[in-house]
């Protein structure tokens, strides 16, 4: 019997979507381990044991300074070499919401430098100045390098995309911005933009909802795919055609795509 790929889900005080991410990896076919950040700081070498890594959403350390700031600072100071080594050996990583905020502050996204961390993008206050909790229509970038979103939009018929190609969001600091125009231009021209909002409710530059690094392995997004693993989570799932509900949700497909990369199998449509 083949050994299941191991998925590391890193939590910290205030994380509140860790169990959803653990469940997403498990349903995709991995063996997830939920590990507290303190345990990794004590023994960073544990990161080498895993084939997938997830940074879940939630208000880590209360986000009293800024969203994800304390979590990211501890990772930069104690875990950056091990996280970079994981990328180099081909480990897919995902960060949702607070996890995305953490990854950009660590310097894992959009990446670029391998010897030290550097931050060139950020997630700041929504344009409304308010916390936003809703479902939002999404648009995948077909030319993106991201292995997590590869082919995801093509798996949904054009007639159904407006109804089902959406994710829940819940954040007050989700507006994506870049350090300068050169960074934004590089993201767009290099296939690092993975997802956009159809309704740019938070004012993100170029409606960017998610990006990846140059390898396509490291993926961060403000929406929560781990909250949309079953059709019954959809806000009006009872009105969806049975034909649509025969396949996987967009959220589940994201995690299946990562498993496809890790195992070498075709994951899209393999579970159901």
Catalytic site includes residue 224: yes
Q: Which of 141, 226, 248, 260 is catalytic?
A: 226
User: What tokens does 47 get?
Assistant: 């990161």
Catalytic site includes residue 173: no
Catalytic site includes residue 97: yes
Q: Which of 17, 20, 75, 97 is catalytic?
A: 97
Q: Which of 153, 224, 234, 260 is catalytic?
A: 224
CA distance 229 to 156: 15
Show which residues are catalytic.
Answer: 97, 224, 226
């Amino acid at each position: 019997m083949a050994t299941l790929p191991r998925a590391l889900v890193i939590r910290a005080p205030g994380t509140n979507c860790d169990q959803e991410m653990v469940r997403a990896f498990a349903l995709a076919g991995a063996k997830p381990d939920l590990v507290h950040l303190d345990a990794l700081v004590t023994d960073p070498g544990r990161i080498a044991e895993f084939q997938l890594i997830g940074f879940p959403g939630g208000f880590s350390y209360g986000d009293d300074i800024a969203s994800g700031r304390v979590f990211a600072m501890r990772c930069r100071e104690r875990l950056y070499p091990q996280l970079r080594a994981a990328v180099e050996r081909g480990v897919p990583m995902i960060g949702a919401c607070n996890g995305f905020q953490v990854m950009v502050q660590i310097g894992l996204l959009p990446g670029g430098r391998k010897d030290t961390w550097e931050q060139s993008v950020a997630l700041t206050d929504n344009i409304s100045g308010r916390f936003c909790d809703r479902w939002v229509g999404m648009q995948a970038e077909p030319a993106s390098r991201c292995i997590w979103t590869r082919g995801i939009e093509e798996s949904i018929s054009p007639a159904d995309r407006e109804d089902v190609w959406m994710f829940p969001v819940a954040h007050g600091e989700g507006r994506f911005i870049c350090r300068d125009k050169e960074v934004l231009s590089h993201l767009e021209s290099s296939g690092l933009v993975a997802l956009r909002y159809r309704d740019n409710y938070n004012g993100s530059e170029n409606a960017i909802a998610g990006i990846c690094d140059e390898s396509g392995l490291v993926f961060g997004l403000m929406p929560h795919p781990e909250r949309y693993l079953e059709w019954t989570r959809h806000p009006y799932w009872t009105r969806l055609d049975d034909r649509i509900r025969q396949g996987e949700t967009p959220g589940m497909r994201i995690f299946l795509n990562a498993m496809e990369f890790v195992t070498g199998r075709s994951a899209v449509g393999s579970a159901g």
